[in-house]
Amino acid sequence: MSAPLLIAAVVGGGVLLLMRRLFPRQKAVKLLRYSGENMRGKTVIVTGANSGIGKALAGELLKLRARVIMACRDPRSAEEAAQDIKKQAGPENGEVVIKHLDLASLRSVRNFCEEVTQEESQVDVLINNAGIYQCPYTKTDEGFEMQLGVNHLGHFLLTHLLLDLLKASAPSRIVVVSSKLYKYGHINFDDLNSENNYNKAFCYSQSKLANLLFTLELAHRLEGTGVTVNALTPGIVRTRLGRHIQIPLLAKPLFYLASLVFFKSPLEGAQTPLYLACSPEVEGVSGKCFANCEEEELLPKATDEEAAKKLWDISRRMVGLAD
């Protein structure tokens, strides 16, 4: 055996072994089936709907006759995705609307919400799906660490600015996509913006924990309004979310093959957010987290009411909502 082949075999075996340890093979996901009329007449906003889970979710909602607003940073990519999901859904389905939204810019978030409130008479479901994962240290337009800014603060402001419309459309729902990687983070209130130290893995976990604490506090504040909010962890899904992760060249083909075995497809990853957006089983349920369409038990740090309230107040000041 030649040296390159031997090296490839060793590296490949190591990758497969590591994948088995990190990502135990997930049981098959049962695809949901709802009536074709399930979402007729309802307007659903999906952030990051041009790829991955967001695109698959938008496609499923379109089949259910929903009016889907694809809130995306890249209009060209969004247009290509829209054409694709419309083709897959076939005729006599819902409607697709593309709107520009850059969660790394609070001005863009405000412009998006102003446009939506002026043009839409109702918003029945808001799905906070877009995210960025373990990127190099960069900042948003307002100077926030990028993962905190996009994954938490951008969606925090987006949700706040659409609350009046969601309340007027009640019963309505908010769905927040988090991650099981929240387990490896905590809210660093002493350096929330990672000015003193940047660890890309920690910052992602911190942002996903922030999603859960936001869901917890928001649920309390929405009691009695007819608006519910729930979070979810989709599991490990084959998407472009991990594009910033560096994989050795020789290991890339093997990593791809392993992902086909151990990771969910985008459609499988979209099942839990679809469930939370559509299912009558979760009508009136709020402040919970779900995985594989079942309620998930969270670690105590994700149900810490004091931390949730503190993060809420700080986030309001950071996005310019504080009095």
Catalytic annotation, residues: 204
Instruction: State the CB neighbour count (10 A cutoff) for residue 285.
Output: 16
DSSP class of residue 139 equals: B
> What gap in Å lies between CA 241 and CA 52, rounded to an integer?
8
Instruction: State the CB neighbour count (10 A cutoff) for residue 134.
Output: 19
Kind and range of the H or E run holding 173: strand 172-177
Mark out the alpha helices in the chain (DSSP H runs).
3-22, 52-63, 75-89, 106-119, 146-148, 155-168, 200-221, 252-262, 266-269, 271-278, 305-319
* Cβ-based neighbours of 178, under 8 Å, separated by 6 or more: 208, 209, 211, 212, 215, 231, 232, 233, 289
Instruction: Name beta bridge partners: 47.
Output: 71
Half-sphere exposure of 226 (CA within 13 A, CB side): 11
List the helix and strand counts (H, then E) for the chain.
11, 8
CB 125 within 8 A of CB 173: yes
176: three-class secondary structure by DSSP: strand
Q: Which of 293, 254, 257 is nearest to 13 (CA)?
A: 254
- Strand duo 289-291 + 294-295: pairing: antiparallel
